[in-house]
Amino acid sequence: MSRFEISDSRIEGLKVIQRHKVGDSRGFLSRLFCQDTLSRAGWGKPISQINHTFTSRRGTVRGMHFQHPPRAEAKLVTCLVGAIWDVAVDIRTRSPTFGQWHAVELTEDNAVSFLIPEGFAHGFQALSDNVQMLYCHSEAYAPDVEGGLNPLDPRLNIKWPLALAEISQRDQNHPMLSDAFKGVDL
């Protein structure tokens, strides 16, 4: 029996992962990562880094972050506590869905993860207070190749579900899309 049900999103490469919990009166086990299964869904590299994050305030927006090649990264995003609205924007050069976004609600109860391949900017909005998330990255953080898009960019037109409560100065200073932005060439 597979511990994952993998579904395609409307954007090629983005996958929604439904984890199957196995439990009894003591609690449950939920597999967060399996190289054999997720490699068939597009995860092509070893995990290079795992991050655990905490966001204290409902309505907070974080993102839209990415890394340029040769350190472009895939991410597997899981919400461990609380709830988020997780967003990925296709920034792959020559992609037919360039500039389009897709969002998935991740909660501690729904056992859904979001598999985001290389060539996407990623961000989220906290739907509850005290959110904890786990990120698996295919590349380590590399500040010399990091990039970002402004999560409030009208050209992206991301429909954040809640009123904005907080956003970092760094994320507010990410550039708006312009015709000069050609994305990432994988």
| Catalytic-role residue among 65, 102, 122, 137 | 65
Mean pLDDT of the residues in the chain: 94
Residue 12 has pLDDT above 60, yes or no: yes
pLDDT in tens, 129-143: 999 999 999 999 999
Residues whose CB falls within 8 Å of the CB of residue 3, separated by 6 or more in sequence, listed in order: 19, 20, 22, 30, 31, 34, 37
Task: Kindly compute the dihedral angle of the four CA atoms of residues 13, 16, 18, 19, in this order, to the nearest 10 degrees.
Answer: 60
User: pTM here?
Assistant: 0.94
Which backbone phi and psi does 180 adopt, to 5 degrees?
-75, -20
* pLDDT of amino acid 140: 96
DSSP code, position 112: E
Q: Which of the 8 DSSP states describes residue 71? A: S
pLDDT above 70: percentage of residues in the chain: 99
Is 135 labeled as catalytic in the residue annotation? Answer: yes
Strands (E), the chain: 4-8, 15-19, 22-24, 27-29, 49-55, 61-67, 75-81, 83-90, 101-107, 112-116, 120-126, 131-137, 146-148
Residue from 20, 135, 137, 141 carrying the catalytic annotation: 135
Clarify whether 137 is annotated catalytic.
no
* pLDDT for 1: 56
The tens digit of pLDDT for each residue in 15-62 reads 999 989 888 999 988 888 888 888 888 888 999 999 999 999 999 999
